[in-house]
Structure 1
């Protein structure tokens, strides 16, 4: 008689399989292996960048058709009544309730997939293109909110190129939002999202451990209130454009000086979705207020030259600050003067285990050898002045 591994043991084993190909192959072993693999694979189905290339287009199409198959009957009827038909893998009910397995919800990826896929299908809808896209997006998000028992990560940015804006998707009002969002531990957002969104979220979510904010032209009081209400914020990432917005955030951020372990500051972020103006001399000295930091990361994707070496000028103040628990420092080449960095290493190098810096300098290397005896990882990026870590 074949030996059967208990279900809880299989769960533990599969949890350590950090390989999608292996998990996909386990789908065909038996129903139990299939269920465990599906649960893990569907935790985060948004693990791809864009769907303009054919393989990613197929993945986006497969995700959308599966999600439509999982929609409740009233949502399917609503789509059909408005002339919206999206093919599904089978006419039979899905084997699993796939949305219930999700722990990561990316509003941007949902919006991106639906707009892209529906744009390639023949439009038989009685609605215009924007209203059609909005209806499908809204029904899919509503399904996620009502089916997910405990969401862990939410990603919602204000995409300036999209015809569907976040203020048109009020998912915090959906039935089940409180249960779904109460234990949210990671939020990625932009500061120019509707103030009402942050207000609603602040009433539900107080357990964020990780927060990533793209700082646009303004920061609402409701966003600051949401940040203030977190009880155990450990990881903070800020992508900065305007200094006045940055300084407006500092009093709120310093309320978490005792809990924060990681701070990542990105300067001059710029890509297809977000366009920031160049600015200099970021007020980063407030980082010195966070005595329990284990990781400090400064980075920029703006080309840094001798002319704008003062981009992180306030590192001059940080060079004298001691961080008793600091283990990792990452900093771009030419972002500040090397003597500041060497003085900082003199005060903090003994505990450092990881140090990343752009460029190469003999004096700096000698300081590292002298002040960083426990360093395990040291990486110099010799040819990259404009990079994001």
Structure 2
């Protein structure tokens, strides 16, 4: 058997096992998406299953990709808050929101806050809330298959309170959760 058969997709099961082996090696996964269509189709979901994690500390371009999938009404609201239309109007090859498997509310909010602070300006709480709620709605609509869901309830933020109704109205969204973590923090005691 030649190596070209593996790369051409003649053995997709073996190729999938190889790609799964690289699950946490992001630089290798990025290289895999350049090999051919099969490898790309297998590697992209692994790269997008947890985009809000610390593995992308400086790059928040994935938020723009998610925003490009929003409906026109939400994009219009974003424009009114000062978000440039060029940032949210791109064509994508995949339905990235459907690949989400790990959601951590705190990481999502931090990523959105950093993105907004960098591109729009500071003190844009309503914009952060709009993006957060829109992304959560999009993940629910695209039937993301969550494996892990982490929530930090803090008296400083009421973002979760604003979206709990979405989660409760869509039980299929949380159906396959294997790891649910709920932490309650009282910000009065935080220094």
Does the aligned pair in 2 maintain the 1:23–1:37 contact within 8 Å? yes
After TM superposition, list the pairs within 5 Å mapping 1:304-383 onto structure 2.
none
The answer as to 2:141 corresponding to 1:143 is no
1:7 aligns with 2:15: no
Residue 85 of structure 1: which of 77, 83, 96 is its match?
A: 83
Which of 38, 45, 62 aligns to 1:39? It is 45
User: 1:89 offset after TM fit, Å?
Assistant: 6.3
Which deviations, in whole Å up to 9, do the C-alpha atoms of 1:127-158 show, x marking residues without a partner? Answer: x8322221111101111122134211101102
| Superposition deviation, residue 173 in structure 1 | 4.3
Which runs of structure 2 are paired with 1:10-21 in the superposition (5 Å)? 10-18=15-23, 19-21=25-27
- 1: CA distance between counterparts of 2:42 and 2:119? 34
What is the CA deviation profile of residues 15-40 of structure 1, one whole-angstrom value per residue up to 9, with x for unaligned ones?
A: 11241111111111122211211111
- Between the aligned partners of 2:188 and 2:85, the Cα distance in structure 1 is 33
Corresponding position: 1:152 with 2:147: yes
Using the size of structure 1 for normalisation, the TM-score is: 0.42
* CA distance in 2: counterparts of 1:64 and 1:39, whole angstroms: 16
Q: Secondary structure at the match of 1:169?
A: helix
Deviations 1:60-109 (A, max 9, x none): x21211211222334323433x3341566684421111110111112111
How many equivalent residue pairs?
A: 182
Aligned to 1:305: none
Asked if structure 2 preserves the Cα contact closer than 8 Å seen for 1:118 and 1:133, the reply is yes
Aligned match of 1:102: 100
Say which structure, 1 or 2, has more relative contact order (CA 8 Å, 6+ apart).
2
The corresponding residue for 1:168 is 162
TM-score of the pair, normalised by structure 2: 0.79
CA-based RMSD of the aligned residues comes to 2.9
Matches within 5 A, 1:230-269: none
Q: Write the deviation string for residues 28-61 of structure 1: whole angstroms up to 9, x where unpaired.
A: 1122211211111111223318xxxxx723x2x2
Using the alignment, how far apart are the partners of 1:28 and 1:274 within structure 2? 49
Q: How does 1:47-126 map to 2 (within 5 A)?
A: 47-48=53-54, 56-57=57-58, 59=59, 61-80=60-79, 82-86=80-84, 91-122=89-120
Q: Which stretches in structure 1 are left out of the alignment for 5+ residues?
A: 50-54, 193-215, 218-272, 277-389
Structure 2: any 5+ residue segments left out of the alignment? none
Query: Paired residue for 1:25, among 20, 31, 35?
Result: 31
Instruction: Deviation per CA, 1:226-270: give whole Å up to 9, x if none.
Output: xxxxxxxxxxxxxxxxxxxxxxxxxxxxxxxxxxxxxxxxxxxxx
- CA deviation map 1:300-326 (0-9, x unaligned): xxxxxxxxxxxxxxxxxxxxxxxxxxx
**Cα deviations by residue, 1:318-368 (Å, 9 ceiling, x for unpaired):** xxxxxxxxxxxxxxxxxxxxxxxxxxxxxxxxxxxxxxxxxxxxxxxxxxx
| 1:134 maps onto 2:129 in alignment | yes
Contact 1:43 1:103 in 2 (8 A): yes
Matches of 1:23 and 1:41 in 2, distance apart? 7
Matches within 5 A, 1:170-185: 170=164, 171-173=166-168, 177-185=170-178
Structure with bigger helix share is: 2
